[in-house]
Structure 1
Amino acid sequence: MTTSIEGRIAEELGVRERQVRAAVELLDGGSTVPFIARYRKEATESLDDAQLRTLEERLRYLRELEERRTAILDSVREQGKLDAALEASIRAAETKARLEDIYLPFKPKRRTKAQIAREAGLEPLADGLLGDPSADPLAAAAVFVDGDKGVADAAAALEGARAILTERFSEDADLTGELRERMWTRGRMAAKVRDGQEEAGAKFADYFDFAEPFTALPSHRVLAMLRGEKENVLDLVLEPEEPEAAERPGPSAYENMIARRFEIADRGRPGDKWLGDTVRWAWRTRIQVHLGIDLRLRLRTAAEDEAVRVFASNLRDLLLAAPAGTRATLGLDPGFRTGVKVAVVDATGKVVATDVIHPHVPANKWDQALAKLAHLAKEHAVDLIAIGNGTASRETDKLAGELIDKHPELKLTKVMVSEAGASVYSASAFASQELPDMDVSLRGAVSIARRLQDPLAELVKIDPKSIGVGQYQHDLSEVKLSRSLDAVVEDCVNGVGVDVNTASAPLLSRVSGISSGLAENIVAHRDTNGPFRSRKALKDVARLGPKAYEQCAGFLRIRGGDDPLDGSSVHPEAYPVVRRM
């Protein structure tokens, strides 16, 4: 790559290279994206969090690219095959795919048919037939027959020569790149249902006889078809051309590209047909197969990236939903046979009552359920009813509506709440620690009530992947999904800020500079010594050193503390400036 990593990222983001250099220096120094976006604007000249996330992602990719480039240069150099032109080509490669195309001929590999043919002395035959099509292939091959070398006859010699040329054609980096891009722009993915799978695979019925160009395929279709193939319902084929183009007589456009590259043409000479057959063999048995694998990976990667973006966007919307605030809330976790689990939390989120009611089938204790809810709402001065949106949610919403109609004096408001991940929270180690004496089945109702009060504070207790805000989650790269969703949670938490005296350990662990272990230490210090009175007191927490303090202090709020600035987003390092204003 001729330009520096920083220069390339600057060009992609449309910013100055010095801005990127400053951001990279801060990231390498251990600063987080939220910290840089909020408190180092003067260094990066106001790069925002979205730009910094893209910068961070591209920096990771380009550094991996440079590591691979170095490894390839070392490998080819050790083989004694690195000349100036090859080195320039490797250094100019701008993507991992291009780099691997160049490296392919030099990649250590098991003994191939081409290698065996070379060892049998057949490379001069291959070179001769390619360089002089006027030679008769059988006559030329007869000279290379040698039983001691495993070349039994002229046909065996020609087979070896074909293997050598096939490898040569398939390892031409420039040609491979051109063929790949043509196949990407002209090809399509086709799906057919497997025999006998029509009933079992009914959910994939849209793809039983389906084809669409690669460039027009939306991510959800790609992932659906790949899942159908994985479940042995669909057969997928990556077709290099539309059917009408593929059905034209004569060599395909791809075969013509290979032929032109190696100056092969049918002019009626003795060797032309053999060379044309070799081109066809190389394309159909090797090059097309390898390009199909490449493009399948390209389709999957693009579909995964889009699915992860949707996941991240949906998660951000959920986390940043408007909190109901400090209002007593009655949480309902709907169910039929097992009943509706009920939990009442006060304005601070503390659990003050739990119960189970059975208004729906099979028990049908509707009136008793209404009476119980009215009693709980009155006793605990409930303002809000949070209803989980899972099984039996519509029936439970109707129950809450009737409660409101029959008891207008209670002034209740009902809200449907996403219960995604509530069951995961219920069985988690943190829930056991937070609600140790409560039955697992009731913890979900507590979570539903609290996530209406403060969605962000409650949802951070759950692994983001378990919140279920996207499609085909289990078909995506877990590393890619986790990295993206963790970044969303981190940005949301730090964008809002955290009350250090009320935040749970999971919430604190999402604050810039605070690990899960350090979050536990903050909570332990708070439990032992009482609420923090100042940000400066955070320095007394075990293992909270200067770097962690620098990163986290601005995002931690202290309400009603000794210094009003500790309740703001102003970083302690800026206090002297603010006080002079």
Structure 2
Amino acid sequence: MEKSKTYPRMSDQDIFQLIAEELRILPQQVQNTVELLDEENTIPFIARYRKEVTGKLNEEQIRFIQTEVNYFRALEERKQTVLRSIDEQGKLTSDLLQKIVKACKLQEVEDLYLPYRPRRKTRGSIAKARGLEPLADLMWEQKIETGDVNEYAAVYVNAEKEVFSVEEALQGAGDIVAERISDDAEVRQMLRKIFHDEGVIVTQAKDSSVRSDYEMYYDYKEAVRKIVPHRILAINRGETEGFLRVKIDVERESVIRQISQHVIS
């Protein structure tokens, strides 16, 4: 059986270094602790009876090490899967490889993988199948300096491909561009920051006449960056149990402006 191709990955020593920096301890302490955990020693046992090995780490520190090393190991395995998938598509560039290899968060990896993830039909993929990607490229590259955009779009009107009008050609090309923006890892990261820093979580009752444990959230607003974990959990439960409608409001024009500044050079 042919061995699966492997890609550059973060070593255990790199992982130990990152965790050590977070805890402000020595990498050797992390390594020693991980070895004890890998031998299936319990956290209370290690904290109480292996102080000379860990450098007197307490249970909280050991638990943090366990959580982080498991996270990073799983992250590295996910990176290998993602890199293999993109490589098999023939789309793995050296730049993309380096971005994925250097990513320290799973969300970063998933954002980078998103444009290459196998997916069901979307409006963008349908537009591509109808031959509208070159028109989308013109929009994306912003190279149309003369003439009317409708004249460019008219070239792509083709009844056989179900593009029956200039408007449909422009709409399809716009769908492709919108999908590119949505798949852009930097845009997604930027939007998360906007929603965290500027967003307001808004909850409303589905039926205000119904009594429940979530009545304080029947008409409630709070800045996302200020909301505490126990309120998030309560709101999530209220939504799951069917008592609440939940959304995050941001200033639409501000979001569009920031996306435009990123996309339009």
TM-score of the pair, normalised by structure 2: 0.89
Within 2, Cα distance between the matches of 1:145 and 1:234?
46
1:87 corresponds to? 97
1:38 corresponds to? 48
Contact 1:201/1:233 (8 A) holds in 2: no
Q: Describe the SS at the equivalent of 2:202.
A: strand
What is the root-mean-square deviation of aligned Cα atoms in Å? 1.8
Contact 1:129/1:137 (8 A) holds in 2: no
1:53 corresponds to? 63
Check if 1:145 corresponds to 2:146.
no
Contact 2:29/2:54 (8 A) holds in 1: yes
Within 1, Cα distance between the matches of 2:199 and 2:257?
16
Residues 412-469 of structure 1, C-alpha deviation per residue, up to 9 Å, x if partnerless? xxxxxxxxxxxxxxxxxxxxxxxxxxxxxxxxxxxxxxxxxxxxxxxxxxxxxxxxxx
Matched residue type, 1:176: R
User: After the TM superposition, which residues 243-322 of structure 1 pair with which residues of structure 2 at under 5 Å, given as runs?
Assistant: 252-263=253-264
1:273 corresponds to? none
Among 193, 214, 228, the alignment partner of 1:181 is 193
Q: Describe the SS at the equivalent of 1:210.
A: strand
1:11 corresponds to? 21
Within 1, Cα distance between the matches of 2:213 and 2:64?
36
1:157 corresponds to? 169
Give the CA deviation at 1:202.
4.7
Among 24, 33, 43, the alignment partner of 1:23 is 33
Q: Describe the SS at the equivalent of 1:203.
A: coil
Residues 119-162 of structure 1, C-alpha deviation per residue, up to 9 Å, x if partnerless? 22211111113323434222111011111112112111111101
Q: Which has the larger radius of gyration?
A: 1
Matched residue type, 2:149: P
Within 2, Cα distance between the matches of 1:136 and 1:260?
24
Contact 1:185/1:214 (8 A) holds in 2: yes
Among 174, 196, 203, the alignment partner of 1:191 is 203
Larger RCO (CA under 8 A, 6+ residues apart) = 2
Give the CA deviation at 1:259.
1.3
Contact 1:102/1:173 (8 A) holds in 2: yes
Residues 366-414 of structure 1, C-alpha deviation per residue, up to 9 Å, x if partnerless? xxxxxxxxxxxxxxxxxxxxxxxxxxxxxxxxxxxxxxxxxxxxxxxxx
Q: Structure 2 unaligned segments of length 5 or more: list them.
A: 1-8
Q: Describe the SS at the equivalent of 1:215.
A: coil
1:231 corresponds to? 241
Contact 2:195/2:248 (8 A) holds in 1: no
Among 115, 124, 141, the alignment partner of 1:105 is 115
Contact 1:37/1:46 (8 A) holds in 2: yes
Q: Describe the SS at the equivalent of 2:248.
A: strand
Within 1, Cα distance between the matches of 2:80 and 2:231?
38
Q: Describe the SS at the equivalent of 2:247.
A: strand
Q: Structure 1 unaligned segments of length 5 or more: list them.
A: 247-251, 265-581
Within 1, Cα distance between the matches of 2:39 and 2:218?
53
